[in-house]
Amino acid sequence: MSLLQIAEPGESPVKAACKGRVVGIDLGTTHSLVAVVQDATPYCLAVDARGGRLLPSVVSYPRSGPPLVGEPARARAASHPHDTIASVKRLMGRSPDEVAAQQSQGRWLHYRLGPSDPSSPGVVRLSVAEGQRAVTPVEVSAEILRWLRLCAEEQLSTTPGGPDEDESILDGVVITVPAYFDDAQRQATKDAGRLAGLNVLRLLNEPTAAALAYGLDRKKEGKFAVYDLGGGTFDISILDLHDGIFTVMSTAGDTALGGDDMDQALADLLIASSSDPATLRSRLQQDAGQSRVLLALARQIKHQLTDAEQATATLPDGATVTITRAQLELAIAPIIARTAAPCRRALKDAELSPQELDGVVLVGGATRVPSVRAFVAQIFGQPPLCDLDPDQVVALGAAVQADILQNARTDALLIDVTPLSLGLELMGGIVEKIIPRNSRVPTGARQVFTTYADGQTGFDLHVVQGERETAQECRSLARFKLTGIPRMAAGMARLEVSFLIDENGLLSVSARELTSGREAHTTVKPSYGLSDEQVEKMLLDSFEYGESDLRQRLLITQRVEAERILTALSGALGRDGHLLSEAERQAIAAARAALEAARQGSDHRRIADAIAALDVASKGFAQRRMDQSLSHAVSGRAVSEIEAAVEHAHDIEGAHAAMPSSAQPIDPSAMRGSDARSQRE
Amino acid sequence: MPIARNHFEVLGFAPTYFIDRAELEARYREGQRHSHPDRFSRAPASERAQVLQRATDLNDAYRVLKSDLRRAEYLLALRGIDLSEEAEQAGGKKRTLDSLFLSDVLELREELQESRLRRDDAAITRIAAEIRSRMAQENGRIEAGFSRLGSTAAGDAAVLDGLADALLKLRYYQRFLDDISAHEEATA
């Protein structure tokens, strides 16, 4: 970088300082977002043709060809339930046994576990593409990240027509993770980033990211709790904001608790309210597609009950049920109650009483549920702050952190903690804690071991994370094999092992023999993760659908999307054409013809524009159809029809935002609206 | 090989028990502002490794100096009195606590056990309060001991022994309290 580089007026210093750009990514259970800082303001980039900011974290693998990501993938959930992976974040860094346990606990996780690879039995593999492929959760997440990367490159490129094939304009990314993620889950996230061809500058804890967006925005000082209830994870963090330094005082949480669980509970309630629960339940067990539809229906009802006192739906067996908000609250109360213990623990670890907090910030879509807000108010003895969009705030904070790193900004600094104690398994399976939870990172510990047999040259160490007394009850991170210790009598060799948790919360281990000063060799065998070699191999394999044909993929995705919308529209016109005025009918016909024409071409932007135009033309129609099907549920209607109408109406909602080719900072006042707004999932 | 700085040196304090909390916070923040790895995300790998070590030293020093108990233990360790269990196992001098103290704590343990069986939360709270008041007493002894260091005609040996005794008792009490709260967490 030249010292004489001067920013041109109007040009952002980011661009002047370095060739690439940096972005922040919120890789969420239900949604993912990508955000960037421009002119000192963070904003979210569009992630679909209609300018929506929330990318459904869904990947669907067709029998052949590249996977679909986002809305087009979600649209295949009912028809291809096993090839369509949603909520993959729940599987990151998990063992096959843990995933099987999740499934057997009655959770409707529609994954089909593939055959495990004998070389890494601890790695989960999902059978997709009608059994033609087996993918790891890391690869599925990488597809989502790759898509976000593509969107960001499109919009940040200064060259018209998108970036050149070989020019990467993304210099680095910050990816957020739940604060309570353990080392294996973090490592898996970082691997996914690498696999997506991203330079991961930093993994950032989600509540910390939220605080950064919130605190910098408001120039706040004081102590804050961030209550983050997302689709699949719960985090509570307590932070001290002081003079531009954000210090995390404590963190606690549950990596398998979120809005998804509410949908499950509500779906169970719907089944129980049907005319013949037993028959319906067994039908859903056999038909994964139908159960996905029921889950989507449950989610819609949950959203409606944020504002309405009751909602009506038609079940797959034709029965019409009405659910009141009180019923919903009763069904989800046990889920919300599970957040209480982590909140109390975080307060205790921070040595604070609720009255000493200057505010409680809400993050995550599930915090829109009124009874969640009431619960938070009760636990912390004060009404929560919700003036930032809980869906976007994490991504915005990640973008701010990326900007801080890229420009070595000194006005803000994050000091985070490690969420779980790090320990070593001793003889008898007892755990000795070497780094206590809530230690500020980076942090280290040293332990000296000695040999117990004459001439012993190696040593095995089992590293675990967790708060329990025995290794079995903690989470196994890795087994380290130390070799190359000089031959000595038992008890003579003194082996010093150093553990380091870096600023990302990632662990590394090194060892030295003290009497000889020799470095001992360490081999890491992650208990559930991928080895470096495996990630490398995947990276090579990914070129199959890789970097060169991203543009082609964009085109294919847009075509699939166009086809889906056209099919849905034909069906809707056939059934509900009577809801249209003549003028509307003509406008829709024209927009439809334009999309048909664009679909034949090879310009993905033109297809995107045509989709958006059609959405605008049919907005009123979609709204009326949704009103018709949901408020006065017509008995006997197939639920998939209602689903389609709801989908359609939601597609339209997205169309109001800016188009991807003209990415503008979104209006901050719109972003912060905490008033009654419908939610998009 | 560079000699590792002790925790007091890392934060620029003289090795004393009496540390100003606000000053500790201020120095820690200033240190991190200059040596947190986030400030060097673009630096070459070798420089980053150094920075990481510096930031780690700062955090570890802060953790020890912030806590009265850890700071006191560390001060004794600097004077060659290692109270860690590791040192005991490695053949160090085994310090024993007076039998009166031990039987007393044992009695409290039994009381706690019975209260748990009875699910008598009020009694458990009372026991915790009793432990805290005893800890305050031991803390007073520690404070007094450290202020006498280097000022008695008989030398520091007796004072240091008293400090070690108070610290070991504190540790006992602390474990007792941790046990109570762990149980609360598990049953909540």
- Predicted pLDDT of residue A84: 94
CA-based nearest residue in chain B for residue A438: B63
Dist CA A73 CA A57 (whole Å) = 9
Instruction: Determine, for residues A500 and B56 on separate chains, whether the beta-carbon distance falls below 8 Å.
Output: yes
- Predicted pLDDT of residue A1: 29
Q: Cβ neighbours of residue B23 under 8 Å, at least 6 residues apart?
A: none
Both structure tokens of A212? 């950064």
Beta strands A310-314 and A170-177, pairing class? unpaired
The C-alpha of A369 sits at a distance from chain B's nearest C-alpha, in angstroms, of 24
B63 CB neighbours in chain A (<8 A) are 439-440, 443
Dist CA A320 CA A313 (whole Å) = 6
Beta strands A21-27 and A31-38, pairing class? antiparallel
The pLDDT confidence band at residue A518, using thresholds 50, 70 and 90, is confident
More confident residue, A107 or B24: B24
Question: Is the pLDDT score of A661 beyond 50?
Answer: no
Closest C-alpha among A273, A247, A393 to residue A330: A273
- Predicted pLDDT of residue A44: 96
Show which residues of A are catalytic.
Answer: 26, 89, 206, 228
A89 near A27, Cβ under 8 Å?
yes
- Which residue in the set A201, A341, A448 is minimally distant from B41, CB to CB? A201
What is the interface pTM, i.e. ipTM, of the complex?
Answer: 0.85
Question: Is the pLDDT score of B155 beyond 50?
Answer: yes
The C-alpha of B152 sits at a distance from chain A's nearest C-alpha, in angstroms, of 36
Question: Is the pLDDT score of A293 beyond 90?
Answer: no
More confident residue, A520 or A374: A374
DSSP state of A475: E
- Which residue in the set B36, B42, B59 is minimally distant from A443, CB to CB? B59
Closest C-alpha among A521, A524, A525 to residue A457: A521
Instruction: Determine, for residues A442 and B33 on separate chains, whether the beta-carbon distance falls below 8 Å.
Output: no
CA-based nearest residue in chain A for residue B185: A341
Residue range A564-612, pLDDT digits in tens? 788 888 888 888 888 888 888 899 999 999 999 998 888 888 888 888 8
A236 near A207, Cβ under 8 Å?
yes
Question: Is the pLDDT score of B58 beyond 90?
Answer: yes
- Predicted pLDDT of residue A553: 67
The pLDDT confidence band at residue A666, using thresholds 50, 70 and 90, is very low
Question: What is the percentage of chain B residues whose pLDDT exceeds 90?
Answer: 54
CA-based nearest residue in chain A for residue B183: A468
Say whether residue B87 is in contact with chain A using an 8 A CB cutoff.
no
Q: Which of A411, A427, A503 to mutate to test the interface with B (most CBs of B within 10 A)?
A: A503
- Predicted pLDDT of residue A256: 87
The C-alpha of B142 sits at a distance from chain A's nearest C-alpha, in angstroms, of 22
The pLDDT confidence band at residue A106, using thresholds 50, 70 and 90, is low
Question: Is the pLDDT score of A377 beyond 60?
Answer: yes
Question: Is the pLDDT score of B87 beyond 60?
Answer: no
Residue with tokens 């990632």: A506
Residue A201's CB is within 10 A of a number of other CB atoms, namely 22
E strand residue ranges, A364-485: 413-415, 422-425, 431-435, 443-450, 459-465, 475-483
DSSP readout, A277-337? Answer: HHHHHHHHHH-HHHHHHHHHHHHHHHHHHHH-SEEEEE-TTS-EEEEEHHHHHHHHHHHHH
Question: Is the pLDDT score of B88 beyond 60?
Answer: no
The pLDDT confidence band at residue B89, using thresholds 50, 70 and 90, is low
How far from chain centre, in Å, is Cα A242?
29
B181 CB neighbours in chain A (<8 A) are 348
Question: Is the pLDDT score of A42 beyond 50?
Answer: yes
Listed range (A149-158, A258-267, A629-638) with the worst mean pLDDT: A629-638
Closest C-alpha among A363, A430, A74 to residue A212: A363
The C-alpha of B105 sits at a distance from chain A's nearest C-alpha, in angstroms, of 22
Q: Which of B34, B39, B59, B86 to mutate to test the interface with A (most CBs of A within 10 A)?
A: B59
Question: Is the pLDDT score of A469 beyond 50?
Answer: yes
Residue range A173-230, pLDDT digits in tens? 999 999 999 999 999 999 999 999 899 999 999 999 999 998 766 667 899 999 999 9
Instruction: Determine, for residues A413 and B86 on separate chains, whether the beta-carbon distance falls below 8 Å.
Output: no
A348 near A384, Cβ under 8 Å?
no
Phi, psi at residue A675, to the nearest 5°? -75, 180
- Which residue in the set A202, A340, A448 is minimally distant from B41, CB to CB? A202
- Predicted pLDDT of residue B188: 59
Question: Is the pLDDT score of A673 beyond 50?
Answer: no
- Which residue in the set A345, A413, A444 is minimally distant from B38, CB to CB? A413
Both structure tokens of A289? 């597609």
- Predicted pLDDT of residue A408: 83
A202 CB neighbours in chain B (<8 A) are 38, 41
B42 CB neighbours in chain A (<8 A) are 405-406, 408
Count of A–B CB contacts within 8 Å? 62
Phi, psi at residue A229, to the nearest 5°? -110, 100
Query: Helices (H) and strands (E) in chain A — how many of each?
Result: 20, 26
Say whether residue B32 is in contact with chain A using an 8 A CB cutoff.
yes
Q: What is the rounded average pLDDT for all residues in chain A?
A: 82
A223 near A392, Cβ under 8 Å?
no
- Which residue in the set A348, A415, A448 is minimally distant from B32, CB to CB? A415
Q: What is the rounded average pLDDT for all residues in chain B?
A: 87
Within 13 Å, how many C-alpha atoms sit on residue A306's CB side? 21
Within 13 Å, how many C-alpha atoms sit on residue A117's CB side? 17
Mean pLDDT of B35-64: 88
Mean pLDDT of B136-143: 95
CA-based nearest residue in chain B for residue A440: B59
More confident residue, B111 or A615: B111
The C-alpha of A597 sits at a distance from chain B's nearest C-alpha, in angstroms, of 48
Beta strands A200-205 and A170-177, pairing class? parallel
- Cα distances (angstroms) measured from residue A504 to each of A149, A182, A442, B79, B163: 21, 11, 8, 36, 39
Say whether residue A404 is in contact with chain B using an 8 A CB cutoff.
yes
Listed range (A17-31, A52-66, A248-262) with the worst mean pLDDT: A17-31
- Predicted pLDDT of residue A85: 94
Dist CA A251 CA A548 (whole Å) = 42
Listed range (A189-198, A267-276, B80-89) with the worst mean pLDDT: B80-89
Instruction: Determine, for residues B60 and A443 on separate chains, whether the beta-carbon distance falls below 8 Å.
Output: yes
- Predicted pLDDT of residue A680: 35
**Coil, helix or strand at residue A470:** strand
A502 CB neighbours in chain B (<8 A) are 37, 52
CA-based nearest residue in chain A for residue B51: A442
Dist CA A608 CA B132 (whole Å) = 67
Mean pLDDT of A298-312: 92
Residue range A314-357, pLDDT digits in tens? 887 778 889 999 999 999 999 999 999 999 999 999 999 999 99
Phi, psi at residue A452, to the nearest 5°? -115, 0
Residue with tokens 């201020």: B26
- Predicted pLDDT of residue B62: 95
Closest C-alpha among A56, A53, A52 to residue A31: A56
- Predicted pLDDT of residue A648: 52
Burial class (CB in 10 A: 0-12, 13-18, 19+), A366: buried
Residue range A480-494, pLDDT digits in tens? 877 877 888 887 888
A-contacting residues of B 59-78, CB under 8 Å? 59-60, 62-63
The pLDDT confidence band at residue A525, using thresholds 50, 70 and 90, is low
- Predicted pLDDT of residue A551: 66
Mean pLDDT of B179-186: 77
Dist CA A214 CA A212 (whole Å) = 5
- Predicted pLDDT of residue A373: 95
Instruction: Determine, for residues B188 and A340 on separate chains, whether the beta-carbon distance falls below 8 Å.
Output: yes
Q: Which of B27, B42, B67 to mutate to test the interface with A (most CBs of A within 10 A)?
A: B42
- Predicted pLDDT of residue A644: 55
Question: Which residues face B58 on adjacent strands?
Answer: none
The pLDDT confidence band at residue B1, using thresholds 50, 70 and 90, is very low
A253 near A178, Cβ under 8 Å?
yes
Dist CA A666 CA B22 (whole Å) = 41
More confident residue, B151 or B141: B141
Say whether residue A410 is in contact with chain B using an 8 A CB cutoff.
yes
**Cis peptide before A160, with omega less than 30 degrees from 0?**
no
